Amino acid sequence: METIQNESIFVVDDDQGILDSFDAMLGDDYPLHMVNNGVDALEYLDRHQPCLMFLDLKMPRMNGLELLKTLAARKLSTVIVVVTALPQEQYQELAYEYGVYKYLQKPLDVDEVEDIAAVVLH
């Protein structure tokens, strides 16, 4: 199956409030696709290659670290930003080992998220 390349943002988070926040922060300026677990994320990534992905670590079905491990083996060109409420020191090093671009703590800083999107997509 051929991968569809696009200039979009992909958000993977099980918290609907966070998904709504991303829509409010970026939805007017960029195409967004959002899912609430790692299994659905893998299915989406089988067909699409977004430029930027914001990824939560703590999710049902497949957590963010499991997804990162799988994606690292695929060598995607997608820029991945972790967004999590989990303690930074516990997971940050591992996330960077899997090729993460940035590691952001929740609650998210709107300006920081917008700046990342602007840098990666322009």
Q: Write out the chain's pLDDT in tens, 122 residues.
A: 444 445 799 999 999 999 999 999 999 999 999 999 999 999 999 999 999 999 999 998 899 999 999 999 888 889 999 999 887 777 899 999 999 999 999 999 999 999 999 999 98
Q: Which domain holds residue 116?
A: 4-121
Angle between helices 38-45 and 64-74 (to 10 degrees): 20
Give dist(CA 44, CA 1) in Å, integer. 12
* CATH code at position 70: 3.40.50.2300
The backbone region for 12, taken as left when phi is positive above 0, alpha when psi lies in -120 to 50, beta otherwise, is beta
Whether residue 32 contacts residue 9, with contact meaning beta carbons closer than 8 Å, is answered with yes
Q: Per the structure, how many domains does the chain have?
A: 1
Q: Token digits for 3?
A: 């991968």
